[in-house]
Amino acid sequence: MAFSLFSSKNRIVNIVLNDHSIRYLELKHANPPTAQKWGERFLPPGIICDGKIADMDSLVNILDECIDEWKIQRRQIRFVVPDQLVIIRKVSVPAEIQEDEMKGYLYLELGSSIHLPFEEPIFDYYLLSQNEKTKDLLLFAAPEQYVMEYANLFSSKKLTPVAADISPLALYRLYQQLGFGKENEILFMIQFDLTSVNLCVFEGTVPVVMRPFALLFNLENWEIQRYSIGTMDIKYTGEADELVIQFEDIINEINKLMDFYRYSLNKEKNGISKFLLTGDHPMLRAVFDEMKERFEVHVEQLSVVTGSNGKSGSIPASLLLTLGLALKGVK
């Protein structure tokens, strides 16, 4: 799954951009998942907005500095398509459509029987089930224009994109590699970041519904500090009540998606087995504690211990998505 726009090769740097940061990671080995090098850089508001590049000149300058600092010149890269650009949708096609015909058929049906909120998509699909009459597919789509803006940006800096992925799949890959995934599990993944939240429900290994939404972010309420080892420290300095309101909104969204999944998608067959909380928000531990109080469903956080090049202990939570991306294609 994910987007097959590029071919896959070796010795790849993994890069994740979102509205507030750019991060990279190189994998040392996959079992257990171990990072060899990593780094992150804060992006001021207005450079990337809702996953779309809004200030290309500033982003180019920052990327130039990151490439020099991280010493990743002329490398092959993987990157994550921002959550706000991605649509996951279940579609049915006639059973007689063969695998080698499927992409062509889907392309012809986009805009007629298959409706997306944008034109000219880049897409991939996953076969869910089939019978004598139909095949049920999970369609992953994003606007080609915005995905190619990222690809062209990297190419202009002599970085060669070889794979594009989506964040829930990258995180689930890490979750599974750590031995947590269960065959019949209904996993509710919550990516709680500084400027956005992404909710995704997995049936087994397959993400069946995803809902991203933005968080209000006022830079004046946050203190950003960069450390010499290449990581960031972000502290909230604003009014506590503002965060409480934000957290309540997120809890409401979680409840809405749980109800939608149970009553609309799952027909009340099964409920959520487990919550997986991850992300780069500085208050993630408080969210974890609050969720344990609010929900009867088990809540789990990802944590990976690594050590190399003078770095030891747990890899920062902000880098776990990048680590999951690095596992793409690893058997």
Task: Quote the pTM value.
Answer: 0.91
Phi then psi for 54, rounded to 5 degrees? -105, -30
| SS3 call for 22 | strand
Give the mean model confidence (pLDDT) for residues 139-149: 95
Q: What number of other Cβ atoms are within 10 A of residue 117's Cβ?
A: 8
Residue with more model confidence, 297 or 111: 297
Give, in order, the Cα–Cα distances in Å from 63 to each of 57, 73, 156, 194, 280.
Answer: 10, 11, 11, 20, 20
Q: Taking 80 as the threshold, does the pLDDT of residue 1 lie above it?
A: no
Question: What CA–CA distance (Å, rounded) separates 34 from 55?
Answer: 34
Question: What CA–CA distance (Å, rounded) separates 33 from 124?
Answer: 27
Q: Taking 50 as the threshold, does the pLDDT of residue 310 lie above it?
A: no
Q: Taking 60 as the threshold, does the pLDDT of residue 7 lie above it?
A: no
The answer to whether 137 touches 90, Cβ cutoff 8 Å, is yes
Please tell me the predicted confidence (pLDDT) of residue 23: 96
Going by pLDDT thresholds of 50, 70 and 90, the confidence category of residue 114 is: confident
Fold of 12-86+143-326: Nucleotidyltransferase; domain 5 (3.30.420)
| SS3 call for 268 | coil
Measured between alpha carbons, how far apart are the two ends of the chain, in Å? 15
Give the mean model confidence (pLDDT) for residues 7-36: 85
Please tell me the predicted confidence (pLDDT) of residue 33: 86
Give the mean model confidence (pLDDT) for residues 90-103: 93
Going by pLDDT thresholds of 50, 70 and 90, the confidence category of residue 314 is: low
Give, in order, the Cα–Cα distances in Å from 16 to each of 21, 23, 39, 324.
Answer: 8, 5, 11, 11
Q: Taking 50 as the threshold, does the pLDDT of residue 220 lie above it?
A: yes
> What's CA 51's distance to the chain center, in Å?
11
Question: What CA–CA distance (Å, rounded) separates 268 from 183?
Answer: 19
Give the mean model confidence (pLDDT) for residues 78-83: 96
Please tell me the predicted confidence (pLDDT) of residue 309: 46
Please tell me the predicted confidence (pLDDT) of residue 306: 55
Please tell me the predicted confidence (pLDDT) of residue 263: 84
Domain 87-142 has CATH 3.30.1490.300: yes
Domain positions in the chain: 12-86+143-326, 87-142
